[in-house]
Amino acid sequence: MTALLSPSTAHPTSAATSTAHPAELSFELLGEVRGWRNGVELPLGAPRQRALLAVLLLRAGSPVGRDHLIDGIWGDAAVLDGANLVQAYVSKLRKLVEPDRAPRTAGGVLTRVGASYRLSIGPQQCDLGRFEQAVAEARALRSVGQPEAAERTLATALAAWPGPALTGVSGPLLDVERTRLAELRLAVVEEHTELALELGGHARLVPHLLVLTSEHPYRERLWALLMVALYRGSRQADALAAYQRARHTLMENLGLLPGPELRGIEEAILARRPDPFARLAPAAAAAEPALAGVGSETGRPHLTLVGPAPVAPRGPWAEGTARLAR
Protein backbone atom coordinates (compact mmCIF):
# COMPACT_ATOMS: atom_id res chain seq x y z
CA MET A 1 0.00 0.00 0.00
CA THR A 2 1.33 3.43 -0.88
CA ALA A 3 2.52 5.43 2.10
CA LEU A 4 0.39 8.45 2.88
CA LEU A 5 3.18 10.52 4.34
CA SER A 6 6.56 11.61 3.15
CA PRO A 7 9.28 12.87 5.50
CA SER A 8 8.55 16.44 6.55
CA THR A 9 11.72 17.75 4.92
CA ALA A 10 10.45 16.67 1.51
CA HIS A 11 6.90 18.01 1.63
CA PRO A 12 7.13 20.90 -0.87
CA THR A 13 7.99 18.59 -3.76
CA SER A 14 6.46 15.33 -2.55
CA ALA A 15 4.08 13.32 -4.71
CA ALA A 16 1.23 14.30 -2.40
CA THR A 17 1.67 17.99 -3.11
CA SER A 18 2.71 17.76 -6.76
CA THR A 19 -0.62 16.16 -7.71
CA ALA A 20 -2.74 18.12 -5.25
CA HIS A 21 -5.02 20.99 -6.12
CA PRO A 22 -4.66 23.87 -6.51
CA ALA A 23 -1.33 25.29 -7.72
CA GLU A 24 0.66 22.74 -5.72
CA LEU A 25 0.01 24.33 -2.35
CA SER A 26 1.21 22.68 0.84
CA PHE A 27 0.86 23.74 4.48
CA GLU A 28 2.09 22.71 7.92
CA LEU A 29 0.45 23.10 11.32
CA LEU A 30 2.20 20.36 13.31
CA GLY A 31 5.07 22.61 14.30
CA GLU A 32 5.47 26.13 12.97
CA VAL A 33 2.69 27.40 10.71
CA ARG A 34 4.25 27.36 7.24
CA GLY A 35 3.17 27.18 3.62
CA TRP A 36 4.60 26.47 0.17
CA ARG A 37 3.53 27.14 -3.39
CA ASN A 38 5.19 25.20 -6.21
CA GLY A 39 7.96 24.18 -3.82
CA VAL A 40 8.76 27.73 -2.70
CA GLU A 41 8.07 28.71 0.92
CA LEU A 42 5.54 31.49 1.31
CA PRO A 43 6.26 34.59 3.43
CA LEU A 44 3.19 34.31 5.62
CA GLY A 45 3.67 37.66 7.33
CA ALA A 46 3.02 38.81 10.88
CA PRO A 47 1.92 36.44 13.67
CA ARG A 48 -1.72 37.58 13.50
CA GLN A 49 -1.84 36.87 9.78
CA ARG A 50 -0.32 33.43 10.38
CA ALA A 51 -2.86 32.88 13.13
CA LEU A 52 -5.71 33.67 10.75
CA LEU A 53 -4.28 31.21 8.21
CA ALA A 54 -3.98 28.57 10.93
CA VAL A 55 -7.65 28.94 11.85
CA LEU A 56 -8.67 28.62 8.20
CA LEU A 57 -6.44 25.54 7.80
CA LEU A 58 -7.95 23.90 10.86
CA ARG A 59 -11.40 24.43 9.30
CA ALA A 60 -10.30 23.79 5.71
CA GLY A 61 -13.21 23.39 3.34
CA SER A 62 -15.72 25.02 5.69
CA PRO A 63 -16.71 28.69 5.92
CA VAL A 64 -15.33 30.46 8.99
CA GLY A 65 -17.25 33.52 10.13
CA ARG A 66 -15.47 36.86 10.36
CA ASP A 67 -16.61 37.34 13.97
CA HIS A 68 -15.35 33.85 14.79
CA LEU A 69 -11.96 34.75 13.37
CA ILE A 70 -11.82 37.95 15.39
CA ASP A 71 -12.82 36.25 18.64
CA GLY A 72 -10.55 33.28 18.00
CA ILE A 73 -7.46 35.35 17.29
CA TRP A 74 -7.88 38.40 19.53
CA GLY A 75 -10.32 37.16 22.16
CA ASP A 76 -11.06 39.79 24.79
CA ALA A 77 -8.11 41.94 23.74
CA ALA A 78 -9.11 45.38 22.57
CA VAL A 79 -8.89 45.57 18.78
CA LEU A 80 -9.98 48.48 16.63
CA ASP A 81 -11.64 47.70 13.31
CA GLY A 82 -11.19 43.93 13.55
CA ALA A 83 -13.30 43.34 10.44
CA ASN A 84 -10.98 45.46 8.30
CA LEU A 85 -7.92 43.74 9.78
CA VAL A 86 -9.34 40.33 8.89
CA GLN A 87 -10.13 41.53 5.38
CA ALA A 88 -6.60 42.91 4.99
CA TYR A 89 -5.00 39.67 6.19
CA VAL A 90 -7.20 37.62 3.87
CA SER A 91 -6.29 39.86 0.95
CA LYS A 92 -2.56 39.41 1.62
CA LEU A 93 -2.91 35.65 2.02
CA ARG A 94 -4.95 35.43 -1.18
CA LYS A 95 -2.15 37.14 -3.09
CA LEU A 96 0.29 34.56 -1.74
CA VAL A 97 -1.73 31.47 -2.59
CA GLU A 98 -3.23 32.83 -5.84
CA PRO A 99 -0.74 35.35 -7.24
CA ASP A 100 -2.02 34.86 -10.80
CA ARG A 101 -5.62 35.69 -9.95
CA ALA A 102 -6.90 38.73 -11.85
CA PRO A 103 -7.93 41.71 -9.69
CA ARG A 104 -11.57 41.84 -8.57
CA THR A 105 -12.21 38.24 -9.63
CA ALA A 106 -13.45 35.50 -7.36
CA GLY A 107 -10.73 33.41 -5.74
CA GLY A 108 -10.58 29.66 -6.14
CA VAL A 109 -8.57 28.82 -3.02
CA LEU A 110 -9.39 31.48 -0.42
CA THR A 111 -12.91 32.66 -1.03
CA ARG A 112 -15.45 34.85 0.70
CA VAL A 113 -18.86 33.37 1.51
CA GLY A 114 -21.08 36.14 2.83
CA ALA A 115 -19.46 37.25 6.09
CA SER A 116 -17.26 34.15 6.16
CA TYR A 117 -14.06 32.95 4.52
CA ARG A 118 -13.24 29.48 3.24
CA LEU A 119 -9.86 27.92 2.42
CA SER A 120 -10.39 25.17 -0.14
CA ILE A 121 -7.56 22.65 -0.02
CA GLY A 122 -7.46 18.85 0.07
CA PRO A 123 -6.41 16.79 3.12
CA GLN A 124 -3.12 15.86 1.45
CA GLN A 125 -2.15 19.52 1.22
CA CYS A 126 -1.81 19.94 5.00
CA ASP A 127 0.34 17.86 7.33
CA LEU A 128 -2.55 17.52 9.79
CA GLY A 129 -4.78 16.08 7.06
CA ARG A 130 -2.07 13.65 6.04
CA PHE A 131 -1.57 12.61 9.65
CA GLU A 132 -5.28 11.95 10.15
CA GLN A 133 -5.46 9.92 6.95
CA ALA A 134 -2.44 7.87 8.00
CA VAL A 135 -4.04 7.08 11.37
CA ALA A 136 -7.23 5.97 9.62
CA GLU A 137 -5.21 3.81 7.22
CA ALA A 138 -3.26 2.21 10.08
CA ARG A 139 -6.47 1.34 11.90
CA ALA A 140 -7.90 -0.18 8.75
CA LEU A 141 -4.73 -2.25 8.26
CA ARG A 142 -4.85 -3.49 11.82
CA SER A 143 -8.51 -4.40 11.55
CA VAL A 144 -7.73 -6.74 8.63
CA GLY A 145 -4.84 -8.44 10.39
CA GLN A 146 -1.85 -6.45 9.10
CA PRO A 147 -0.25 -5.11 12.31
CA GLU A 148 3.22 -4.78 10.77
CA ALA A 149 1.95 -2.50 8.01
CA ALA A 150 -0.16 -0.58 10.54
CA GLU A 151 2.87 -0.06 12.79
CA ARG A 152 4.99 1.21 9.91
CA THR A 153 2.26 3.61 8.83
CA LEU A 154 1.91 5.11 12.31
CA ALA A 155 5.69 5.29 12.71
CA THR A 156 5.99 7.31 9.51
CA ALA A 157 3.15 9.60 10.56
CA LEU A 158 4.67 10.27 13.97
CA ALA A 159 8.12 10.86 12.51
CA ALA A 160 6.65 13.58 10.28
CA TRP A 161 5.18 15.49 13.26
CA PRO A 162 7.93 17.77 14.63
CA GLY A 163 5.67 19.31 17.30
CA PRO A 164 4.49 21.14 19.26
CA ALA A 165 1.70 22.14 16.93
CA LEU A 166 0.83 25.74 16.04
CA THR A 167 4.17 27.13 17.16
CA GLY A 168 4.49 30.90 16.76
CA VAL A 169 0.77 31.73 16.72
CA SER A 170 -1.60 32.45 19.57
CA GLY A 171 -5.19 33.28 20.36
CA PRO A 172 -8.02 31.72 22.40
CA LEU A 173 -9.13 29.37 19.64
CA LEU A 174 -5.61 28.36 18.69
CA ASP A 175 -4.68 27.71 22.31
CA VAL A 176 -7.60 25.28 22.57
CA GLU A 177 -6.61 23.64 19.30
CA ARG A 178 -3.00 23.33 20.45
CA THR A 179 -4.19 21.35 23.49
CA ARG A 180 -6.41 19.15 21.33
CA LEU A 181 -3.60 18.39 18.90
CA ALA A 182 -1.19 17.56 21.72
CA GLU A 183 -3.76 15.10 23.03
CA LEU A 184 -4.21 13.64 19.55
CA ARG A 185 -0.48 13.14 19.14
CA LEU A 186 -0.08 11.46 22.51
CA ALA A 187 -3.05 9.16 21.87
CA VAL A 188 -1.47 8.04 18.60
CA VAL A 189 1.86 7.53 20.38
CA GLU A 190 0.02 5.19 22.75
CA GLU A 191 -1.64 3.40 19.85
CA HIS A 192 1.66 2.98 18.03
CA THR A 193 3.32 1.73 21.21
CA GLU A 194 0.61 -0.91 21.60
CA LEU A 195 1.30 -2.11 18.07
CA ALA A 196 5.06 -2.18 18.58
CA LEU A 197 4.58 -4.08 21.83
CA GLU A 198 2.25 -6.54 20.10
CA LEU A 199 5.00 -7.16 17.55
CA GLY A 200 7.53 -8.01 20.24
CA GLY A 201 9.27 -4.70 20.79
CA HIS A 202 9.06 -4.74 24.59
CA ALA A 203 12.81 -4.44 25.20
CA ARG A 204 13.21 -1.39 22.98
CA LEU A 205 10.01 0.21 24.22
CA VAL A 206 10.92 0.28 27.91
CA PRO A 207 13.29 3.30 27.73
CA HIS A 208 10.76 5.34 25.73
CA LEU A 209 7.93 4.43 28.08
CA LEU A 210 10.02 5.43 31.09
CA VAL A 211 10.41 8.87 29.52
CA LEU A 212 6.74 9.13 28.56
CA THR A 213 5.46 8.13 32.01
CA SER A 214 7.78 10.73 33.52
CA GLU A 215 6.45 13.43 31.19
CA HIS A 216 2.79 12.35 31.49
CA PRO A 217 2.52 10.83 34.97
CA TYR A 218 -1.30 10.85 35.05
CA ARG A 219 -1.66 8.93 31.80
CA GLU A 220 -2.64 5.47 33.06
CA ARG A 221 -2.47 3.90 29.60
CA LEU A 222 1.26 4.69 29.43
CA TRP A 223 1.83 3.12 32.84
CA ALA A 224 -0.10 0.05 31.66
CA LEU A 225 2.06 -0.26 28.55
CA LEU A 226 5.23 0.13 30.64
CA MET A 227 4.12 -2.58 33.06
CA VAL A 228 3.34 -5.01 30.25
CA ALA A 229 6.61 -4.23 28.43
CA LEU A 230 8.57 -4.92 31.61
CA TYR A 231 6.58 -8.07 32.34
CA ARG A 232 7.14 -9.45 28.85
CA GLY A 233 10.85 -8.85 29.34
CA SER A 234 10.82 -11.14 32.42
CA ARG A 235 11.00 -8.12 34.72
CA GLN A 236 8.06 -8.90 36.98
CA ALA A 237 9.48 -7.00 39.97
CA ASP A 238 10.12 -3.88 37.87
CA ALA A 239 6.60 -4.09 36.45
CA LEU A 240 5.13 -4.20 39.95
CA ALA A 241 7.40 -1.33 41.02
CA ALA A 242 6.09 0.71 38.08
CA TYR A 243 2.56 0.08 39.34
CA GLN A 244 3.53 1.34 42.79
CA ARG A 245 5.03 4.50 41.27
CA ALA A 246 1.84 5.11 39.31
CA ARG A 247 -0.29 4.49 42.40
CA HIS A 248 1.81 6.83 44.54
CA THR A 249 1.69 9.58 41.87
CA LEU A 250 -2.07 9.39 41.51
CA MET A 251 -2.73 9.21 45.26
CA GLU A 252 -0.19 11.84 46.28
CA ASN A 253 -1.12 14.44 43.68
CA LEU A 254 -4.75 13.74 42.83
CA GLY A 255 -6.09 11.67 45.71
CA LEU A 256 -7.13 8.95 43.26
CA LEU A 257 -6.57 5.22 43.15
CA PRO A 258 -5.41 3.61 39.88
CA GLY A 259 -8.24 2.68 37.55
CA PRO A 260 -9.47 -0.86 36.87
CA GLU A 261 -7.07 -1.38 33.97
CA LEU A 262 -3.93 -0.77 36.03
CA ARG A 263 -5.28 -2.74 39.00
CA GLY A 264 -6.21 -5.62 36.72
CA ILE A 265 -2.76 -5.67 35.15
CA GLU A 266 -1.15 -5.74 38.58
CA GLU A 267 -3.34 -8.69 39.55
CA ALA A 268 -2.51 -10.48 36.30
CA ILE A 269 1.23 -9.98 36.85
CA LEU A 270 1.00 -11.23 40.44
CA ALA A 271 -0.86 -14.30 39.13
CA ARG A 272 1.75 -14.70 36.34
CA ARG A 273 -0.90 -14.78 33.65
CA PRO A 274 0.56 -14.65 30.11
CA ASP A 275 -1.77 -11.88 28.92
CA PRO A 276 -2.35 -9.09 31.48
CA PHE A 277 -4.66 -7.20 29.07
CA ALA A 278 -6.92 -10.12 28.15
CA ARG A 279 -9.80 -9.50 30.55
CA LEU A 280 -9.59 -5.73 30.39
CA ALA A 281 -9.38 -4.87 26.69
CA PRO A 282 -13.16 -4.78 26.01
CA ALA A 283 -13.85 -2.53 29.00
CA ALA A 284 -10.95 -0.26 28.13
CA ALA A 285 -12.15 0.05 24.53
CA ALA A 286 -15.67 0.91 25.65
CA ALA A 287 -14.40 3.61 28.00
CA GLU A 288 -12.09 5.26 25.48
CA PRO A 289 -13.17 8.73 24.33
CA ALA A 290 -13.41 9.48 20.64
CA LEU A 291 -10.60 11.49 19.07
CA ALA A 292 -11.78 14.59 17.27
CA GLY A 293 -10.81 14.82 13.64
CA VAL A 294 -9.36 11.33 13.15
CA GLY A 295 -11.34 9.07 10.87
CA SER A 296 -14.73 7.61 11.72
CA GLU A 297 -13.56 4.70 13.86
CA THR A 298 -15.44 3.82 17.02
CA GLY A 299 -12.20 3.23 18.90
CA ARG A 300 -8.70 1.89 18.50
CA PRO A 301 -8.07 -1.85 18.88
CA HIS A 302 -6.34 -2.92 22.06
CA LEU A 303 -3.30 -5.06 22.66
CA THR A 304 -3.26 -8.84 22.58
CA LEU A 305 -0.15 -10.39 24.03
CA VAL A 306 -0.75 -14.05 23.32
CA GLY A 307 0.73 -15.68 20.24
CA PRO A 308 4.13 -16.68 18.88
CA ALA A 309 7.44 -15.79 20.45
CA PRO A 310 8.34 -12.08 20.24
CA VAL A 311 10.18 -10.83 17.20
CA ALA A 312 11.93 -7.51 16.69
CA PRO A 313 9.54 -4.88 15.33
CA ARG A 314 10.14 -3.53 11.88
CA GLY A 315 9.88 -0.01 10.59
CA PRO A 316 11.09 3.31 11.98
CA TRP A 317 8.91 3.15 15.09
CA ALA A 318 11.81 3.75 17.45
CA GLU A 319 12.74 7.03 15.76
CA GLY A 320 9.16 8.25 15.73
CA THR A 321 8.54 7.38 19.38
CA ALA A 322 11.87 8.85 20.45
CA ARG A 323 11.13 12.14 18.71
CA LEU A 324 7.74 12.38 20.34
CA ALA A 325 9.13 11.51 23.74
CA ARG A 326 11.16 14.72 23.84
CATH code for the domain in which residue 241 is found: 1.25.40.10
Q: Of 90-99, 196-205, 236-245, which has the strongest mean pLDDT?
A: 236-245
Structural domain harbouring 304 = 200-310
CA of 216: how far to CAs of 26, 67, 144, 236, 282, in Å? 32, 36, 32, 23, 24
Same domain, 73 and 210: no
Q: Over 60: is that where the pLDDT of 182 sits?
A: yes
Strand-pair category, 40-41 with 34-37:
antiparallel
Over 80: is that where the pLDDT of 303 sits? no
pLDDT digits (tens, 9 = 90+) for 288-301: 333 333 333 333 33
Mean pLDDT confidence for 202-209: 96
**Predicted TM-score (pTM) of this structure:** 0.77
User: How many domains does the chain fold into?
Assistant: 2
Statement to judge: residues 222 and 298 lie in one domain: yes
Regarding whether 133 and 11 lie in a shared domain, the answer is yes
pLDDT value at position 105?
Answer: 67
Asked, for residue 318, whether it belongs to a domain, the answer is no
Q: How high does pLDDT run on average in the chain?
A: 81
Residue 113 located in a structural domain: yes
3-state secondary structure string across the chain: CCCCCCCHHHHHHCHHHHCCCCCCEEEECCCECEEEECCEECCCCCHHHHHHHHHHHHCCCCCEEHHHHHHHHHCCCCCCCHHHHHHHHHHHHHHHHCCCCCCCCCCCCEEEECCEEEECCCHHHEHHHHHHHHHHHHHHHHHCCCHHHHHHHHHHHHHCCCCCCCECCCCHHHHHHHHHHHHHHHHHHHHHHHHHHHCCCHHHHHHHHHHHHHHCCCCHHHHHHHHHHHHHCCCHHHHHHHHHHHHHHHHHHHCCCCCHHHHHHHHHHHCCCCCCCCCCHHHHHHHCCCCCCCCCCCCCCCCCCCCCCCCCCCCCHHHHHHHHCC
- 205 within domain boundaries: yes
| Domain CATH number, residue 30 | 1.10.10.10
Say whether both 42 and 155 belong to one domain.
yes
pLDDT score of 288 = 39
* Region 61-83 average pLDDT: 87
Q: Is the pLDDT of residue 174 over 50?
A: yes
Distance, in Å, from the CA atom of 36 to the CA atom of 144, rounded to the nearest integer, reads 36
Split at pLDDT 50, 70, 90, the class of 35 is: very high
Kindly state whether residues 205 and 126 are assigned to the same domain: no
